[in-house]
Structure 1
Amino acid sequence: MSNVVSKGRLLLLATAAACLPAAVQAQAPATGAAAQTEANAAASETALDVVVVTAQRRVQRGNDVGIAMNVVSGGELEAAGVRQVVDLATQTTNVQIKNTLGGSVPNVTIRGIGLNDYASNNNPAAGVYVDNVYLVSPAMLSFGLFDVDRVEVLKGPQGDLYGRNTTAGAINIISKRPTEAADAEFQVGYGTYDSWLLNGAVGGPLAPTLAGRFAFTTEQQASGWQRNYVTGERNGRIDRTAARLHLEWTPSEAVTALLSAHAGYDRSDQSLYKVDNVLTTDEDAFAGRPRIAGASNNPEVDLKSAGVSLTVDWALAEGLTLTSISAYERFTRVDVGDQDGTRLRQLDSTFRNRINQTSQELRLAYSREALTLIGGAYYSRDTVATQDSYDAPDLLPLLGLSGISTIGNRYHQRTKAYAVFLHGEWEIVPKLTLVSGIRYTKERKRLDDATTFLGPTGGGEVDVFAPVENFFRTSNVSGKLGVNYKLLDDTLLYASVSRGFKSGGFQGQLTFDPSALTPFDDEKLTAYEVGVKSRVLPNLQVNASAFNYDYEDSQFYGPLFDSPVGVLFGITNVGDARVRGVEGDVTWRPVAGLDLRVGAGYIDTEITRSIVPGVAKGSRLPNAPEFTLNGSVKYAWTVTDDAEADISLSAAYQSRVAFDIVRNPPEAREGGYTTVNGEAGLNLGENFRIAVWGKNLFNELHRTQALFTSAGWSEQYSAPRTFGVKLSWQN
């Protein structure tokens, strides 16, 4: 691993070193007025762009917002090869995103706070918003990123403007909106494993007061990097397509309405599980070959999503704006996998989910001189229907269940949430602003038709216990109190105390004990944070923060209890923890054409109180590496009057991490590793671009997940090095 880290750092440094002399030498010396003119021109060419965000539900400069965040533009995502939510972690510090099941159900962990649960009925600890619409289930996060304007990763509890289920933070994904002038862009790409990628977007005015934008993406791949030793075939086929339509209507200067509709599907192969199966020697011949695994079924997913939202902004008076966001989302999922990893039918899983959610938010914003107020109300309703099953005729008789071939569970969950909130910023004296926010949330959940069933060998289903109906109700007050001090126009010092909560609920996993379906409680997090954001020079931006978290009644998912049929999983409150850390990032453009960015994070996590056997006091939180580093370098230069070339490299490092801390198994620990991605392109005129790209350039092999099952340790591995080429056109 150390060799890979060294190679990644050396590659970034070597690229920067190679680029700097050429750029510096290209500047001829000058004197007098000419020298001053050239100096001003050079400063203009190296000045960094102003970062604009909507993290506080209004348009602001990033340096005016007292929240630790990472903002990644759509162009930066493209250059780094980020195509899905799970890839965002490589661009941010102290952030982990991984799939809990093969290639689906991403878990987002920010500064050690997350939920490692594969069930679809539990909300993530980091709220994910797409064009201001909150997605209620982690199962809904396996979507592709396309036609993205920017992504904002907000760190720490967002308890006033965002509300429930943001103890870790929030991720805002903002797509490109319609433009005043007609525009179009298309991209086609080809890569390793016979993969094809086609993206496109067209937009512009449709009528005097109406503009639109239609964007789409499709990715097709014929094979993959895994091999199924049972069938001898390659695994990794990709078949996913998505599209989005924006219609923006501006009937007057005071009113803007944005209608957004999207739909997509994913019918790709599910990743194979590499299992150290203790019940058979079937896999032993391939024990040292992590990219060869077994499956007796056809592992694949069938995901379908669709949604529509309407956002209306109405300027009622000078400085007073009313915003309404109405949204509906529908998601269905069928996930087929072989979790025993052999030719036997021991844990051949099928997960079926159907999720519907409706939400409505009303905000009234007032901003005049020294005072800004944003208040409003929020309502959401969602339903989750699930039936999970395991085809296990070769396992269940060994556990005393003769004549039984299938075991599974089903449930139906309804959730209603209500909230009112108020956020205020008051410039008490010049340069000093008081920031405060409060939110009251009330939530009700109903779990019904919840049971475990057995499938006899002859067919049919038999409930293990009578279907359970339970209720969960909670109300919570969250919020924030902070101060912002403008040391200089482009330098902000900030300090805050914020409170967030993640609502309780019900476990969605298999259980033989109906009492396990009683609700678990909310978790609460109080964060103390100080930070600085400074445009030190026109070409140099520095951000840094330090934080301390009190984490109460933390919710954990894992093998928290034993059962008559081997290892089962559950979710419950396990106690309290603390998190301390620092992080920072620097963006620098030393000369025209050269952009450098580096970020570093450190966190120290510890369980301070445990009420669950197996979770030891003093343990580190799962998915919380002590150190994370990421960086990128991009250099662009003129080749001819009509051609410009560029090269981009990005790298990310994380130190050792534990996937599960229950009983602190060594098998659940993964050592540190570095991944490096790159792209080199040639722009021909103003319209065409051809580029080659590579992901995981040093072919780093690491585990992305490890889970203990009734068949033994199940592991998932990273993809190997891949390459490709793409051709783009835009008007």
Structure 2
Amino acid sequence: MTLKAFASRDRGDARQYDRISAANDSSVLNAGEDDDPYSFYSRAYFQQKIDIKGASAQFSHLLNDATRFDMVAGWQSSQRNIGGNGDGTPYPQYEYLFDEDLSQASLEMRLRNEQQGRFNWLVGGFYMSDKIDYQSQWTSWAARTIYHNIHNQRRRSAAVFGQADYELLPKVKLTMGLRYTKDDVDSQGRNIDDNPWGISNYATFFATTPNFQWDKQFKDDDVSGRAAAQWFITDDLNVFASVARGYRSGGFDGTSIMTLAETEPFQSETVWAYEAGVRYYRGPVRLSLDAFANDFDNLQATTRLDNDTNGRTNVGKAKTRGFEGALNLNLLNSGGHKLDFDASGTYLYSEITEFNSNRIADVTATVGDPLPGAPKWTGRVGLVHSYSFGDGWVLKSRANIFHHGKESNRLNAVVGNISPAYTLLNARIELESPHGWSVYAMGRNITDEVYFPEMNGASRMVGAPATYAVGVRMTF
């Protein structure tokens, strides 16, 4: 049995949005921002408070010579307080403060055969329960008021599953797995328009009536599964293919609830996933190649709703197609030196094939678009070197180049919602002692490339500039 406890505390900065220069911005809210992406003109510099704690237990017991019992239990809670605005101006349309308490507990138990042979099996059950208490405060200059969402959600998810492997022919293995999942989600809360200045425009701005309450439930169950075949052509080379049906439960989006329509649940998402690949491991060469395809139904995504707010809902259907590969070469291994070359890359084609919305213009503009957060090309190349001085002293270093292709950040993406491609150079060197301590130095984005992981019209989130650090690590 292995027992673990953990805790973390974060008092760092919340996400800070920059604004494009005033010369290129049509908004009257722009206070004269320049082209410097690292200067912020927000009214407030938001910070965050995040505390996380939890514990887990892993237990394994041999019931008899043929059967082993495994159990994994976990508990975690978090408290999160953050704030910000999405405009990057001192006069934003809105500012938000989020206060969230979350607790989650889970238990999984499995039985499996102990002696691996021609036929191997595993059966088990899983249960998870979580609860979220959430309060958001919005100061909206557009709606001329301050309003709150105070609500909680509780989810209970249970599943039973099984998997079997069978060596149909020498070096040909078949795998079959099934899982039945049942989800039950409750959402209760209320919306409050404080109207502190007596000039609230909430009802007109959101086309709804404020100060409402809700008590909603969502229930669903599903059978998902996977079938795969693997052929070990030699001890160094194997090929495989698989087909699977995946399931993502529906539920409620509690981030911002401005209208009664946003209290309705979104439905579960399903995907058919197909994959085929090859693996080769021999001597200094490790190679893997994969081709994949995914077809999504009832796709869940955050998009613009009928009242012009953003919310998570089912937006239609989508597909992805692609290839990915990884290569590791041992270039040198002598005289205490070891040098490895690593490379990996992915080509991803994605397309929204069906889009559900009451806005005809949004449907026309979105069908055929790539999925948000799905760059066509990503890749990494790197070198890893180590040198053993003897007596336990080791010097390790690595350098890598990472490329991330352009991607849209949201549905209904226009030019201002597409992040350009970027390439980063990172490096690290570390001296390890035989006494359990080490010292290191590292650099990220060494070429100081300016890049934007997220674009939202005239506002944008800038990536970290060139960053350097030194440190000491100790194990005991």
Amino acid at match of 2:222: N
Displacement of 1:707 after TM fit?
2.9
Structure 2: how far apart are the matches of 1:366 and 1:640? 44
Does residue 444 of the first structure (1) align with residue 190 of the second (2)?
A: no
Q: 1:287 Cα shift?
A: 3.3
Q: Cα offset for 1:317?
A: 1.3
Distance 1:642 1:263, change over 3 A: closer
Match among 76, 82, 85 for residue 329 of structure 1:
76
Q: Alpha carbons of 1:691 and 1:331: their partners in 2 closer, same or farther (altered >3 Å)? A: closer
Residue 119 of structure 1 corresponds to none
Select the residue among 643, 668, 677 that pairs with 2:417. 668
**Cα deviation, residue 396, structure 1:** 2.7
Kindly indicate whether residue 3 of structure 2 is the aligned counterpart of residue 259 of structure 1.
yes
* TM-score (normalised: structure 1): 0.59
**Amino acid in the other structure paired with 2:399:** L
Q: Deviations over 1:223-257 (max 9, x none)?
A: xxxxxxxxxxxxxxxxxxxxxxxxxxxxxxxxxx1
Alignment partner of 1:690 out of 439, 443, 455: 439
1:290 matched to 2:29? The reply is no
Give the Cα–Cα distance (whole angstroms) in 1 for the partners of residues 352 and 280 of structure 2: 35
TM-score w.r.t. the length of structure 2 is 0.89
- After TM superposition, list the pairs within 5 Å mapping 1:175-194 onto structure 2: none
* Higher strand content, 1 or 2: 2
**Kept in 2: contact 1:339–1:349 (CA 8 A):** no
Map residues 197-596 of structure 1 onto 2, 5 A cutoff. 257-275=1-19, 280-284=28-32, 286-344=33-91, 346-368=93-115, 369-392=117-140, 394-397=141-144, 404=145, 406-449=146-189, 451-457=190-196, 464-535=210-281, 537-561=282-306, 563=307, 567-592=308-333, 593-596=338-341
Contact 1:296/1:338, CA 8 A, preserved across alignment: no
Structure 1 counterpart of 2:401, from 614, 631, 651 = 651
- Counterparts of 1:288 and 1:267 in 2: how far apart (Å)? 29
User: Take 2:435 and 2:74, find their aligned partners in 1: how far apart are those partners?
Assistant: 38
Backbone CA RMSD of aligned residues: 2.3
Cα deviation digits, residues 16-38 of structure 1 (max 9, x gap):
xxxxxxxxxxxxxxxxxxxxxxx
User: Which of 1 and 2 has higher RCO (CA within 8 Å, sep 6+)?
Assistant: 1
Residue 17 of structure 1 is matched in structure 2 by none
1:460-505: per-residue Cα shift (whole Å, max 9, x none)? x998143111111101000101111111123221111011011111
Q: What's the CA shift string for 1:285-312, capped at 9, x where partnerless?
A: x231111112323401111111112221
* SS of residue paired to 2:416: helix
Provide the rounded CA distance (Å) in 2 between the counterparts of 1:473 and 1:340: 37
2:29 and 2:91 in contact (8 A); partners too: no
Aligned mates of 1:508, 1:682 — CA distance in 2: 47
Instruction: Assess if the C-alpha contact under 8 Å between 2:98 and 2:134 holds in 1.
Output: yes
1:635: how far off?
2.1
For 2:76, the aligned partner's letter is: E
Q: Percent identity?
A: 24
Cα drift, residue 452 of structure 1: 2.6
Find the aligned partners of 2:153 and 2:390 in 1 and give their Cα distance.
Answer: 62
CA displacement, residues 407-432 of structure 1 (integer Å, 9 cap, x when unaligned): 23232111111110001111112101
Q: Is the 8 A contact 2:102 2:133 kept in 1?
A: yes
User: Following TM superposition, by how much is the alpha carbon of 1:687 offset from its aligned partner in structure 2, in angstroms?
Assistant: 5.1
Residue correspondence of structure 1 range 41-190 to structure 2 within 5 A: none
Change (3 A) 1:636 1:356: closer
Counterpart contact for 1:505–1:520, Cα < 8 Å: yes
Supply the AA of the counterpart residue of 2:312: I
Distance 2:43 2:432 in 1: 48
Check whether the contact 2:192–2:212 (CA below 8 A) recurs between aligned residues.
no
Cα distance in 1 for residues equivalent to 2:13 and 2:472: 27
In 2, the alpha carbon distance for the partners of 1:597 and 1:456 equals 59
- Partner Cα distance (1:447, 1:702) in 2: 39
Tell me how far apart the structure 2 counterparts of residues 730 and 606 of structure 1 sit (CA, whole Å): 48
C-alpha separation in 2, matches of 1:334 and 1:642: 45
Q: Offset of 1:345 from its aligned partner?
A: 6.2
SS in 2 for 1:352: strand
Instruction: Show the counterpart of 2:470.
Output: 725
Q: CA separation of 1:408/1:644 partners in 2, compared to 1, >3 Å: closer, same or farther?
A: same
- Flag the structure with higher helix content: 1
How far is the alpha carbon of 1:647 from its aligned partner? 2.8
> What residue ranges of structure 2 are gaps of 5+ in the alignment?
203-208
For residue 206 of structure 2, what is the aligned residue in structure 1?
A: none
Contact kept? 1:465, 1:514, Cα under 8 Å: no
Helix, strand or coil at the partner of 2:346:
strand
Q: Distance in 1 between matches of 2:473 and 2:127?
A: 42
Give the corresponding residue for 1:139: none
Q: Which residues of structure 1 form unaligned runs of 5+?
A: 1-256, 398-403
Q: Could you list the runs of 4 or more consecutive aligned residues of structure 1 that deviate by over 6 angstroms after TM superposition?
A: 639-642
Aligned 8 A contact 1:272 1:294 in 2: no
Give the secondary-structure state (helix, strand or coil) at the position aligned to 2:373.
Answer: coil
Spell out, residue by residue over 1:673-702, the C-alpha distance to the aligned partner (whole angstroms, 9 max, x if none): 111110134445665543321111111111
Q: CA 1:338–1:604 in structure 2 vs 1: closer, same or farther (change >3 Å)? A: closer
Please give the alpha-carbon distance, in whole angstroms, between the structure 2 residues aligned to 1:642 and 1:700: 38
SS in 2 for 1:504: coil
The CA deviation string for residues 258-297 of structure 1, in whole angstroms up to 9 with x for no partner, is 111111211112132113576545432x231111112323
Residue 703 of structure 1 is matched in structure 2 by: 452
Equivalent position SS for 1:589? strand
Q: Are the equivalent residues in 2 in contact too, given 1:333–1:354 (CA < 8 A)? A: yes
Q: CA deviation at 1:610?
A: 1.7
In the other structure, the counterpart of 2:461 is 716
Q: 1:540: Cα distance to partner?
A: 0.8
* Alpha-carbon separation, structure 1, partners of 2:276 and 2:296: 18
